[in-house]
Chain A
Amino acid sequence: MALLELRDVSKNFGGLQAVNHVSLHVNECEILGLIGPNGAGKTTLFSLIGGYYYPNSGRITFRDHDITGLQPNAICKLGLARTFQLVKPFANLTVFDNVMVGAFNRTASRSEAKERAQQVIEFVGLNGREAQMARELPTPGRKRLELARALATQPTMLLLDEVMSGLTPTESATLVALIRQIRGRGISVLVVEHVMRAIMALSDRIAVLHHGEKIADDLPENVTKDPKVIQAYLGDEFMLSEV
């Protein structure tokens, strides 16, 4: 059953058609990878789902609620949490307090929030750093913190915007394992990613965007063989030399 569904969604900025009639769905407990070359409209699509942009046409539904045009905080309340491509830690709060903010999404009780925050911090492997200021964390730590805050809101689905970028292969491998574990807990995941190896290994299914249009939506092994995808990523010359 589709948890998140986009029907014929479009968004243009002036003359630029950033997202062009895209339909997409994510099933329960599924990891869907969203890829595409630079400027393909991935981040715009993400912002449309997260409530930061309002689409020019089309509808977005989540758990049978129409979420088109809802505020980001209302979307989070419904159980759809996101991370940012450029991480946005609350720099002058401790790691623990950062996660506490997320934990308060489902409770007003400080002790319950504390318990929840501690669990999530241990789950993402930030334990021992609770009292550190978020601004003191190195990049991989910030990525984990971003993930921890989103998880603390107790979502049914996660939107991850390039969580692997800027990480070493070893670091991204541990993050891949972590995201698998998250899915294991019954949380669906939509990942936007540039790091191809990571996303191929991680996703159950992959959708490819190019110039704002969806050009492929299939199993990872099929997507890598799709001539349209190869063309989009490597250009026509590559296609010719292959032939």
Chain B
Amino acid sequence: MAKVDLVNALPAPRSTVLVLALRGLVFVIVLVLPLVLDSYLLSLAILILFWGLLGQGWNIMGGYAGQFSFGHAAFYGLGAYTSTWLLVNAGVNPWIGMLAGGLVAVVFGLFTGFLTFRYGLRGPYFALATFAFAEMLRLIAINWEVVNKSRGIQVPLRGTDSLLAFQFETTKVPYYYIILGMVLFTLALTYWIDHSKLGYYFKAIRENEEAAAALGVNPLRYKLLAMSISAFITAMGGTFYSQYLLFIDPEIVFGPQASVEILLRPIIGGAGTVLGPIVGALLLTPLSEFARTLLREPPGFLALLRGHAGTDMMVFGALLIVTIILMPSGLVGWVAKHWNRLVKR
């Protein structure tokens, strides 16, 4: 039916073919990338995908269901700590540890979610509560001997590369494909959610909870569902981090900076869109790496910046404000809105 096509706002058939070809091209490039990149660029690519994954996790809850979390470090840290603790203390395989970490994060999410949603915390109040829960976990980790207090946990070196053990010491290439697989999986999942009843209900809750309830949406159930999916994905990212860098401590995985970095990319890329978190990661991660090197060894005319670590976070803060004012639905949302005008020109 013509009307339904209009609704989907599909571009003309010729450009559909073009879009498909472009997608194929991107996919091939992404697959062969590790073969051409040097070690530095490869680790940058891994970081982009890694932040894309975490952003994707945040996006389900913060972007789609509109429950703005300022404490996703809680899930991230629980994923990292669970799998790493199990590996070091019980010899549990990190792949299994990753699932265990995901489940621990889901349970924690359901618990905190139930408390906050049940008592009607919304908007900034909900954000503050999630922040508090993440801080609580950070303080517990810092003071708990079982997890080595603030010394953190080191993943023991094996001396060999092993996919089964999720650990590679001579090459980074397998990490690239593992994180790529995770990102593609969550992309597919997000696309599916976006097009299903689940996604419609998430968005309805984001737009107006009362109206959603009047249309048969159970807000508590669907918010907890969003929380669970989001927590699981984010925890998977935590395990990946630990197996990739082989060291975690409370500050790195439970700290507020992690929470901020997780939400930064999806918001700038486009919260509540399928591609937003990836676009955000693609844009901000190189910028962040560049800024970090620049601050560590600034060229002569920028010498005054030397040693001022954290200046990059100020730049990101400014970028975030500008994005929220000028493009409230992020880059992807902005392009989607102006697509027709851009193409016709």
Which residues from chain A sit less than 8 Å from chain B, CB to CB?
A: 50, 52, 71-74, 76-77, 81-84, 88-94, 96-97, 100-102, 104-105, 108, 110, 113-114, 118, 127, 130-131, 149-150, 152-153
28 contacts between A and B (CB under 8 A): A72-B214, A73-B213, A73-B214, A76-B214, A82-B214, A84-B210, A84-B211, A88-B208, A89-B208, A89-B211, A90-B203, A90-B212, A91-B207, A92-B329, A94-B7, A101-B200, A101-B201, A101-B203, A101-B204, A102-B215, A102-B216, A105-B215, A110-B197, A114-B4, A118-B1, A130-B3, A131-B9, A150-B215
Asked whether A73 and B218 contact (CB < 8 A) given A90-B203, A101-B212, A104-B200, the answer is yes
With a cutoff of 8 Å between Cβ atoms, the chain A residues found around residue B128 in the complex are none
Cα distance A179–B196 in the bound complex, in angstroms: 31
A93 in contact with B197 (CB, 8 Å): no
Interchain CB contact under 8 A, B6 and A97: no
Chain B interface helix/strand/loop/mixed: helix
State the Cβ distance, A74 to closest chain B Cβ, in Å: 8
Report yes or no: A73 in contact with B7, Cβ–Cβ below 8 A. no
B344 within 8 A of A: no
CB-based contact B7/A131 at 8 Å: yes
Q: B77 within 8 Å of A by Cβ?
A: no
Cα-based distance from A131 to B4 in the complex (angstroms): 9
A81 and B211 alpha carbons, distance in the complex (Å):
11
User: Measured between alpha carbons, how far is A113 from B197 in the docked complex, in Å?
Assistant: 9
Find A97's partner among B200, B208, B217 (CB 8 Å cutoff): B200
- The bracket for how many chain B residues form the interface is 20 to 34
A105 to chain B, nearest CB (A): 4
CB within 8 Å for A90 and B196 given contacts A71-B213, A118-B3, A153-B216? no
B219 interfacial by beta-carbon distance below 8 Å: yes
With A101-B200, A127-B3, A131-B7 as contacts: A50 and B195 at CB distance below 8 Å: no
- What residues of A have a CB within 8 angstroms of the CB of B200 in the complex? 97, 100-101, 104
Point out the residues of chain B lying under 8 angstroms from A77, CB to CB: 216
Q: Which residues of B contact A110 (CB under 8 A)?
A: 195-197
**What are the residues of chain B within 8 A of A101 when measuring CB–CB?**
200-201, 203-204, 212, 215, 217
Once bound together, how far apart are the Cα atoms of A227 and B207, in whole Å? 46
* Contact present for A90 and B211 (CB under 8 Å): yes
